[in-house]
Amino acid sequence: MNNNIKNTEKYDVVIVGAGPAGSTAAFYTENLKVLIVDKFDFPRHKACGGGLMSSKDWSLELENYKRIKDELKSFSCKSIKMYWNKMFVAKCDFKHLFDQVSRYEFDELLLKEALKKENVKFLKFDLQMIEKKKLNGKDVFKLSDGQAEIETDYIIGADGMHSKVSKFLGNKNHKRHQFGYCMEYEINCEKKDLNVHVVAGYKWEIGYGWIFPTLNGYQVGIGIIRKPRKSLNYYLDDFLAWSSEKELIPKEYVIEKRFGGALPLKVVKNYCTDNILLCGDAMGLVKLLTGEGIYYAMKSGKAAGQTLTESQKDIKKRYKKKIKPLFWDTFLTPYVPPKIFTITFWSVFFHIGKIWNYFPIGNILVKFFIKMAIHRKSSRKDSYYHDEKIKIGK
């Protein structure tokens, strides 16, 4: 997917990154000449991710998702079993939990939807340098990949955790306790167990392992905050073997592929100016408890696009106002240092949950954790989850 355009052409807005954040930002940017650039052509594989939490309500908030959802192949997950370091804690049943999708397909559909707009184009472009200059008293930015140059008045940075746009704004690399690593296998096999399995504190590391049912089998992964004691490959293979031994997945399966990546755990200090807006992983907008980022990438992309569409005045102030509710929804991410989530914290939390689960009041703690971990707009009368009752079992 690539448009033949003159790379000396000037644009009102250049969006760096064509994932969910960038495509959504382009979709919501009106009356401005927009170019999306990405170092990859599309479709492309994306490391980790693919769970669309509470996605039955996304159509109420995200018009681009509403337009692609009928084309999107997904597997709906409705129940979850939670463990602490191999110790079973509780099972929760929902009306709907999340839809598991292929990022290969999902990201391409979002980009195609954005490119249906006459004001949006796409270019494969591996950004290497950003330069600011004055032109008629106004800031103009020159983007270069080492060969070609593009000029623009505004930049939306949606280029992931290692964002070059973020570095241009003066943000430093994340410290080791401010990001996590994840790795997963995509396996093909018969699906006998349709539960989602989440194993927190696996091998006494700060993070969790997961088993997500997919259309063709399962995604089996592990995510760890801070530097693990052993390699991530070791933990993933050990978790896969344990999952098979406990019959959470079948004994016979075929590993289709293995991939991994990093995710930020703290919002960067400088995420907007009156000319540059960051969104998604580039901004560090990821839910601290679960590592969920797709919803927040799209919501922040929408906020960025709408901010530039509404007016070119007070951009920084207006974007901060739009984005602030997402901070709270991600569990106070900018205000709570990730280092407080120690192995001791989680061990005590889950052991209390295990003990309380044997008593009538035990459901309170488990439900409290679930409410923190998932976002629901259930107070809205048009919400799919308006009459949902979460059932806690042993």
Look up residue 14 and give its two tokens: 């250049």
User: Looking at residue 137, what is its pLDDT?
Assistant: 81
Comparing 152-156, 290-294, 312-316, 349-353, which segment has the lowest mean pLDDT?
A: 349-353
User: Looking at residue 49, what is its pLDDT?
Assistant: 67
CA 70 to mean position of chain CA atoms = 21
Vertex 43, ends 40 and 47: CA angle to 5°? 70
Residue 72 has pLDDT above 60, yes or no: yes
Average pLDDT on 175-192 reads 88
Look up residue 317 and give its two tokens: 């102030």
CB 238 within 8 A of CB 220: no
Domain boundaries, the chain: 10-49+104-174+266-329
Which is more confidently placed, 377 or 336?
377
The single residue listed with the structure tokens 């505004």 is 154
pLDDT band (50, 70, 90) for residue 346: low
Q: What is the DSSP string of 58-124?
A: HHHH-HHHHHHTTT--EEEEEEEEEEETTEEEEEEEEEEEEEEE-HHHHHHHHHHHHHTSTTEEEEE
Residue 271 has pLDDT above 90, yes or no: yes
Kindly report the CATH class assigned to 10-49+104-174+266-329: alpha beta
pLDDT band (50, 70, 90) for residue 368: low
Residue 68 has pLDDT above 50, yes or no: yes
